Amino acid sequence: MTIEPTPARRIRRAARILLMDEHDRLLLIRFAPPDRRPFWCGVGGECDPGEDFPAAAVRELFEETGLSVETCGPEVARCADDFTTLAGEPVTADERFFRVSTQTFTPDTSGHTETEREMINEFRWFTRAELANWPEPLFPVNILDLLDLEAT
């Protein structure tokens, strides 16, 4: 799959983690930016320059939750979408999703950036039933479908 940027948008490469606990619940993060309605998304973020998707997944998982793993895998999905970042930049996303299983834990937020400390106000483990009926936006919108995908 080749992602082509739209005019005035750069390609934003990002790794996302479908972090599942022993109860088949997914960890999501609630972002509450001042300029838009709150939303939920999974752990992950932009690849650093020269960083591949699996390495970014390992790094982002540790930075956002404190959970240290040697590898994040397997890759289960690739998604592309246009959106505006929390910093206000319009981008075309090239996102890769990795499945990680763990025991339930309370995320350690000591590695968060200033922006993350300002925008993130909750972590929550969701059941599939909760995801199907949650009143706030979830990203990606097809997150329930991603949970059932096998490794590519």
Q: Is the pTM of this model over 0.85?
A: yes
In a domain, 4, yes or no: no
Evaluate whether 115 touches 34 at the Cβ level (below 8 Å): no
DSSP line for 81-113: EEEE-TTS-EEEEEEEEEEEE----PPP-TT--
pLDDT bracket for residue 1 (50, 70, 90): low
Whole-angstrom Cα distance, residue 16 to residue 152?
Answer: 15
Please report whether residue 3 resides in a domain: no
- β-pair type (138-139, 39-46): parallel
CATH of the domain at 59: 3.90.79.10
pLDDT in tens, 104-143: 999 999 988 888 899 999 999 999 999 999 999 999 999 9
The pLDDT of residue 5 is above 90: no
Supply the DSSP symbol for 70: S
Residue 95 CA to residue 83 CA, distance in Å, equals 12
For residue 5, being part of any structural domain is answered with no
Tell me if 36 is assigned to some domain.
Answer: yes
Handedness of CA 149, 150, 151, 152 (dihedral sign): negative
Q: Write down the pLDDT at residue 151.
A: 61
pLDDT value of position 136: 97
Boundaries of domain holding 68 = 10-147
* 101 within a domain of the structure (yes/no): yes
Burial of 114-129, coded b for 16+ CB within 10 Å and e otherwise, reads: eebeebbeebebbeee
The pLDDT assigned to 149 comes to 83
Residue 61 located in a structural domain: yes
152 assigned to some structural domain: no
Q: How many independent structural domains does the chain possess?
A: 1
